[in-house]
């Protein structure tokens, strides 16, 4: 039966890959679709996996989808990986998955590394309910989107680049209020992992003085929700 595998890869530490993922990449597929053949090549060489790599990224995925579906239907066994984390989470993957589903091709998704889960759990903010925003719009619609997010009661999770982090924290402080609690995690699982917690105003001030590097996850307290309220809700349910 034709099948596409979605295989998460480590977000930093190369040990954060499952035995099942390694087996599928090594034994179950003919082709590995990846964002950057150099990045994925380093991972595969580390684990002694020698497979054909095909570039599949933001700039060519629309043009490739139909051909890839035809190849899978013809019997080619494929896995999709990204540079880091789970395919489809702020990375290429959705278009190919949708096309495979529409064509009746089985899609098997492995559990594994993704940046927002450890950042959320590590933040100390309620994680029973959360809203994953991904990347904010860069220009058009950005202010409107931030204003909408400011009213959400659930914990907010978003991705940001190091170059825009201080600006984003400042914009969030303006709309959410400077005292809203938040956490900034960067370089998760890597040697220089950093987790900074505080108010939006405090974090904005910190990162204005110290420009960060690496991939960043921002977690922000929801409107009107905090740890105490969550504990009270759990107590009510138990009663």
Judged against a pLDDT cut of 60, whether residue 155 lies above it is answered with yes
pLDDT of residue 231: 44
CB 21 within 8 A of CB 80: no
Judged against a pLDDT cut of 70, whether residue 237 lies above it is answered with no
pLDDT band (50, 70, 90) for residue 230: very low
Which CATH number, 3.20.10.10, 3.30.499.10, 3.30.950.10, 3.40.50.9100, labels domain 116-228? 3.30.950.10
pLDDT of residue 225: 53
- CB within 8 A of 105, min separation 6: which ones? 2, 3, 4, 69, 72, 73
CATH superfamily of this structure's domain 3-109: Tetrapyrrole methylase, N-terminal domain (3.40.1010.10)
Task: Give residue-wise pLDDT tens across range 77-96.
Answer: 999 999 999 999 999 999 99
d(CA 62, CA 70): 14
d(CA 149, CA 64): 34
Handedness of CA 198, 204, 209, 210 (dihedral sign): positive
d(CA 138, CA 167): 11
Percent pLDDT > 90 in the chain is 89
Judged against a pLDDT cut of 80, whether residue 234 lies above it is answered with no
Q: What is the pTM of this model?
A: 0.89
- At residue 175, the 3 state secondary structure works out as helix
Task: Provide the residue ranges of all domains of the chain, joining segments of one domain with +.
Answer: 3-109, 116-228
Judged against a pLDDT cut of 60, whether residue 131 lies above it is answered with yes
């Amino acid at each position: 039966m034709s099948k596409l595998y979605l295989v998460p890869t480590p977000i930093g530490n190369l040990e954060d890959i499952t035995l099942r993922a390694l087996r599928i990449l090594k034994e179950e597929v003919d082709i590995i679709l990846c964002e950057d053949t150099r990045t994925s090549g380093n991972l595969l060489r580390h684990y002694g996996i020698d497979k054909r790599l095909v570039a599949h990224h933001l700039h060519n995925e629309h043009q490739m989808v139909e051909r890839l579906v035809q190849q899978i239907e013809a019997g080619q066994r494929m896995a999709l990986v990204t540079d880091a984390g789970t395919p489809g989470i702020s990375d290429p993957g959705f278009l190919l998955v949708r096309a495979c589903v529409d064509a009746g091709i089985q899609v098997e998704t492995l559990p594994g590394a993704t940046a927002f889960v450890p950042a959320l759990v590590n933040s100390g903010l309620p994680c029973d309910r959360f809203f994953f925003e991904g990347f904010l719009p860069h220009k058009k619609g950005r202010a409107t989107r931030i204003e909408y997010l400011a009213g959400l009661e659930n914990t907010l999770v978003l991705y940001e680049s190091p170059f825009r982090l201080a600006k984003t924290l400042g914009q969030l402080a303006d709309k959410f209020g400077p005292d809203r609690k938040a956490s900034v995690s960067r370089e998760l699982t890597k040697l220089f992992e950093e987790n900074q917690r505080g108010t939006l105003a405090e974090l904005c001030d910190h990162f204005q003085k110290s420009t960060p590097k690496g991939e960043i996850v921002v977690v922000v307290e929801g409107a009107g929700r905090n740890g105490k309220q969550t504990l009270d809700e759990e107590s009510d349910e138990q009663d």
